[in-house]
Amino acid sequence: MQTLNSNSIRTFFLLLFMVLCGMVFGQNNDLSKKQIGALTQEIINTLADNYIIPDLKKRLTTQLKTNLDNGKYDHLTSSSQYAKALTKELQTLSGDFHLYLLEKEGDKGNLPAQRRMVRSIPDPNAFKNILKFEKLPGNIAFIEIPMFGPLEYAKEGYDKVLKETTSADAIIFDVRRCRGGAGDAMAYIVGSFIENPTHLTTYYSKNGSSKSMSAKTEYGSINKDKEVYILSDYPNGSAGEGFAFYTQQIGRTKVIGQTSKGAGRSNSLFNLSEGFTLSVSTRTSVTPNGKQFQGIGVVPDIFTVASQAKTQAHLLALSSLREKHPEKAASYEQVIKEVAQKVDKNSSKTLNPKDQKSIENTVLGYIENFFENKTDEMLSYLHPQLAKRGISKKKGQEGLYFEDMSMDQLKTMLARKPAFPKEKQQNKVEILDAFSNTASVKLHTGYPGRMEWIEYIHLCKLNGEWKISNVIWDYYPSNNKTNQKRRKSK
């Protein structure tokens, strides 16, 4: 038998290591340059044929074609990388969360069971008992909806929970983490607290229009007069937002929490080559009173931070029941006292709708006038002692630095930079917290597709007016070529 010397042994293990690396890392390199080119062109064609908004469709297809011709996607040889990169590209260009690309069917095992409903044949078991039910003190039904699973698979589970609501005195639905789902399921659950079919919204597509009505259920006539509260938050999207928005607009529910995402269009799924699936917005939605939540989100009737929304809704329900049933006032008082102890009085205070709107208007007034170079108008939203600073990068230099911007520097910037019209701006205001006469806000802003950033803003309420007192900004991370270009373009 031949004996291996030390060099042979090292060579053997080096070759073994290279083989294993190829097995582990090479398995993701499953797309060729030719396949990437064909896929991207297929996405462009699918958008051109089906996307519902004409101006956005032109922007998307034109930019994708330019990127394809410039070889921007050639390095994305992993199907996972390609799907993530194209999804980010589509959503950044359009502000539409219904635009996304799902990777190959064979890779779907890592997706949550409910998410798999968008791929070929859904697993019915994924939607059994999807609702989570809890009976809160004071006989309040609390139902968490993580997703509106297809009615054909989930109805049995829905009925099991909805029967429990018939003996409750009020109902709270939680869609704070609901990313959407099936419209028929949403309409069915709405029908559990509305007696007769009611017009919720009208969908418009290239094929015409169709009305969405709440369903007729055995629970609607029993629950029709009960107060219903819906918890909403920024992650809430699509059918989850529709559930809150449509019922709020017809005056049937009160929404509590924070402004939601604003994913108000409806999508269809298109199978592409190589096993990919493209989600495309094919319908818009307008309520009977002419409103929609696309790009705006669901604005709560009562604002509160996410961690306090459930407790605040519970307290509101109990307070309302106490007023309706004075003979039970003492028992409700006791429950209210116990529930109120859960409120963190040191961190949050519920904002009334007037203050919430004023805070949003103050932040938007500041940023919109900043972009349009309207100095005097912008200054009217700022406290004279404003402190504005952020994380920046100087062109041609490595590393980041902490930059202070004085009021005079801010005015000088407006005097020399080109104006950016309001209709092209994409500003998103997210109220993070509020206490007494102070509030904290996160502003998503920038020049879409060129340079974008986040501003964390502190406001104070003085003499009945909200003013911006502190601003700190940070650009989106420069860990990819797109965001590197954003920073360098400053």
Alpha carbons within 13 angstroms on the beta-carbon side of residue 81 total 15
My answer on whether 223 and 284 are in the same domain is: yes
Place of tokens 């998503």: 444
Residue 454's CATH number: 3.10.450.50
Listed in order, strand segments (DSSP E) in 295-412 are 302-303, 382-392, 401-405
Residue 416 lies in a domain: yes
How far apart, in whole angstroms, are the C-alpha atoms of residue 381 and residue 378?
6
Indicate whether 304 and 374 sit together in one domain: no
State whether 327 and 385 are in the same domain: no
Residue 114 lies in a domain: no
Q: Are residues 162 and 289 in the same domain?
A: yes
Residue 348 lies in a domain: no
Please give the Cα distance from 404 to 190 (Å, whole number). Answer: 51
Beta bridge partners of 430: 442
- 171 in a domain, yes or no? yes
What is the predicted pLDDT for the residue at 264?
A: 84
Same domain, 135 and 237: yes
- What pLDDT was estimated at residue 21? 45
- Read off the pLDDT of residues 155-198 as tens digits, 9 standing for 90 and up: 999 999 999 999 999 999 999 988 888 899 999 999 999 999 99
Q: Mark whether 197 and 146 lie in a shared domain.
A: yes
Asked if residue 19 is part of any domain, the answer here is no
Contacts of 28 (CB under 8 A, 6+ apart): 77, 78, 79, 80, 81
Residues in the chain, pLDDT under 50: 1-4, 12, 15-27, 106-110, 113-114, 118-120, 346-348, 479-490
104 part of a folded domain: no
Neighbours of 436 (CB within 10 A): 8
- How many Å is the Cα radius of gyration of the chain? 26
Same domain for 249 and 160: yes
> Does residue 332 share a domain with residue 379?
no
- What is d(CA 199, CA 214) in angstroms, rounded to the nearest whole number? 7
**Among 79, 95, 111, residue at a domain's last position:** 95
- 366 in the same domain as 328: no
Of the candidates 467, 447, 446, the residue with the CA atom closest to the CA atom of residue 457: 467
Query: Among 441, 300, 284, which Cα is nearest to 362's?
Result: 441
What span, in angstroms and rounded, lies between the C-alpha atoms of 263 and 85?
20
Query: End of a domain among 95, 116, 142?
Result: 95
Show the tokens assigned to 180: 């959407």
How many domains does one find in the chain? 3
Tokens at residue 207, please? 């094929």
CB atoms within 10 A of CB 308: 20
Residues 380 and 401 in one domain: yes
pTM exceeds cut of 0.85? no
**Domain membership flag for residue 420:** yes
- Report angle CA 270, 83, 60 to the nearest 5 degrees: 70
Q: Is residue 53 part of a domain?
A: yes
Residue 399 sits in the same domain as residue 469:
yes
**DSSP assignment letter at 414:** H
Full domain range(s) for residue 39: 33-95
Note the maximum CA span of the chain: 98
Distance CA 323, CA 320 (A): 5
Residue 295: CB atoms within 10 Å: 15
Boundary-marking domain end, from 317, 340, 363:
340
State the virtual CA torsion across 20, 21, 27, 30 in degrees, nearest 10.
-140
Do 299 and 363 have their domain in common? Answer: no
Question: Residues 174, 189: contact at Cβ < 8 Å?
Answer: no
Q: What is the CATH number of the domain that holds 220?
A: 3.90.226.10
| Nearest partner of 368 among 318, 449, 423, judged by Cα | 423
